[in-house]
Structure 1
Amino acid sequence: MIRCDTWRINAQEWATRFAVTCAIGVGLIAGTGSAAFAADTWLILSDIDGRQVGAMQHVDDGDSFRVYDSNRDGHSVEGCLQSWTPRTGWVTLRCKNNDSGAGTYESFNFDVITGIPYRMRLCNALVPCATQGFNE
């Protein structure tokens, strides 16, 4: 025979253990979303046949931007960083032209501020420009 007061103690212990376990799990999940674990952002520019022409990467650690030329077509690739402002729309902050040749990259640094919408724009003379938005 189980006594009711014993069951209440066991239920209270179980509820406490469950609450502590949930709190630890939530803390671990919230910790992995911090800026230290932020991922890099990539933008790939492809031609009409799906071949990669160029790429742009935002390296979150250090706010470095890399513009890659992927194709030996004799045309350079230009990558730009833009920010959104309500009055004027997208404003170009900095650009880098990679005319160093296929398989290389050119880079620039820009201090990206939390809370402002940014996007990368990548262009080549042979294909339309592509964009990729991101936030810090």
Structure 2
Amino acid sequence: MFKKWVTRFALTCAIGVSLIAGTGSAAFAADTWLILSDIDGHQVGAMQHVDDGDSFRVYDSLRDGHSVEGCLQTYTPRTGWVTLRCKNNDSGAGTYESFSYDVITGLIYRMRLCNALVPCATQGFNE
């Protein structure tokens, strides 16, 4: 049990460091990933921001009969997090659904990924 938590912590730190390095400036722009896992560490779904073309992909990773919903949100000081666009992947495990949204430099964004079996996960990024 302890080994699983250490592995999760290391993975979370690695993702955080890569996010900070990838979003430092436009010259170092990179794709951003959000992984949704259950309590046992099994990947339920994933969401990817493909920086080249501002495309978002919502992956269903687990054959559990439940869809995965990925949303793009932006932060505004007056209202907090506002959902801009969502896509539900109910196509089955091993597939992805995609949508496009023009991400603007200078705004704060986050991806939110949800599944009926586990709590939602979020990952912040900027252009």
Name the structure 2 match of 1:39.
30
Identity of aligned residues (%): 92
Letter in 2 for 1:59: V
Instruction: Report deviation, 1:34.
Output: 5.5
Q: Distance in 1 between matches of 2:27 and 2:58?
A: 23
- Map of 1:106 onto structure 2: 97
* Structure 2 Cα separation of the partners of residues 74 and 60 of structure 1: 30
Take 1:48 and 1:88, find their aligned partners in 2: how far apart are those partners?
32
Q: Distance in 2 between matches of 1:35 and 1:119?
A: 17
TM-score, normalisation: structure 1: 0.74
Compute the RMSD of aligned alpha carbons.
Answer: 1.1
1:12 aligned partner: none
Under a length normalisation based on structure 2, what TM-score does the superposition of the two structures give?
0.80
Bigger mean CA deviation after superposition, 33-42 or 121-130: 33-42
Q: Which structure has the larger Rg?
A: 1
Structure 2 distance, partners of 1:37, 1:118, is: 17
Partner Cα separation in structure 1 for residue 117 and residue 45 of structure 2? 11
Aligned equivalent of 1:54? 45
Partner residue in 2 for 1:89: 80
**Alpha-carbon distance in 1 for matches of 2:47, 2:124:** 12
Q: Distance in 2 between matches of 1:135 and 1:34?
A: 9
Equivalent position amino acid for 1:120 in 2? M
Unaligned 5+ segments in structure 1 are 1-32
- The secondary structure found in structure 1 opposite 2:52 is coil
Q: Could you say which structure has the greater relative contact order, defined with CA pairs below 8 angstroms and 6 or more residues apart?
A: 2
1:8-47 alignment to 2 at 5 Å?
Answer: 35-47=26-38
Q: Is 1:65 aligned to residue 56 of structure 2?
A: yes
Once residues 34 and 116 of structure 1 are traced to their aligned partners in structure 2, the CA distance between those partners, rounded to angstroms, is 13
Change (3 A) 1:115 1:34: closer
- 1:125 CA displacement: 0.2
Distance in 2 between the 1:113 and 1:42 partners?
A: 18
